[in-house]
Structure formats: structure tokens, C-alpha cells
Amino acid sequence: MDKATKHYIYVRDGGLCYHCLKPLKMNQVNIDHYLPRARGGKDEIYNYVLSCQRCNKYKGERVPGDCPGVHVRNFIRGVRDRKITTSVKGLKVRELIQKVETVKEVTYRKSDTVFSSENNRFYVVHDTIYKIEGGVNK
């Protein structure tokens, strides 16, 4: 993981371990795949949380029950912060943010992840929204 991404996760999570809320210095940081890679978790901004070494080791390959909710929150925040971008043409950033802020659920697929609202579905791979269903102008 590059330093800029690590720093972003540190700032986004307030410098606190996501699991135990312990304050962390940048040199103490572990980046946890909230949905572990062994369970299908991807290397995406929405799947990273700040963790202390103890909590990261303790969590291991367990999938937290609040995983979908955490992913939705981190996805929305990532779009707002422009860390998750789009390759869809004709959509202004503020319009994208308005649409994304209504996302309520997530579907995990082998090749990508789909974040859904009542009116739109956002297909994400490599921190990029590559497809939006439901209409760009709805």
C-alpha cells in the first residue's frame, strides 16, 4: 500500500484503532482488511480500516457483523473525499456525490463490488466506479 493511501486511512479513521479506539501514531498503524482477503475482501479504500497490531491479529480472518455497513460508510466517504473516482462520462463530481449518499447496501461479487441505492447501482473495482445503472441523470 502506498503512503498516501495509508495516510488517508489514518486521517479518515481519526488516528484511532477502528476496533478498540486506541490512539495510534502513524508508525504504529496496521491497515486491516475489514472483510479479510481470505474471505473475499478486496484491496479497496472502502475495505480498509485503521487497526492496532493486537486487534488486527485478534480479528484474523473473522468477518465482523457490521461489515456491509462499514463498507457503505467508507464507500460514501471515499467518493466524497475523491479517493474513489469514476470513469463514467458526463457526471459531475457533486452529482456523483449526491447519488452516492443514498447508497444503503452492498453486494460482493468475484470481479467487483456493487453499492446500491433505491435508484442506482454503482459498480466498483480498483477504487473506481466503472459503471452506474439507474441512469446518470435520474
Instruction: Please indicate, yes or no, whether residues 53 and 78 belong to a single structural domain of this protein.
Output: no
Total structural domains within the chain: 2
78 and 125, same domain (yes or no)? yes
The residue range of the domain holding 26 is 3-59
* Section 14-23 average pLDDT: 96
Is the predicted pLDDT of residue 70 greater than 70, yes or no? yes
Rounded mean pLDDT of 88-111?
93
Number of other CB atoms surrounding residue 46 within 10 Å: 25
Percent over 90 (pLDDT), the chain: 87
In a domain, 118, yes or no: yes
| Percentage of residues of the chain with pLDDT beyond 70 | 97
CATH number, domain of 30, equals 1.10.30.50
In a domain, 138, yes or no: no
Buried b (16+ CB within 10 A) or exposed e, 86-100: beeeeeeeeebeebb
Do residue 80 and residue 123 come from a single domain?
yes
Q: Which residues pair with 125 in a beta bridge?
A: 128
pLDDT for 91 = 87
**pLDDT for 100-128, tens place per residue?**
999 999 999 999 999 999 999 999 999 99
pLDDT at 138: 42
Contact 30, 56 (CB under 8 A): yes
- Asked which of 59, 88, 106 is the last residue of a domain, the reply is 59
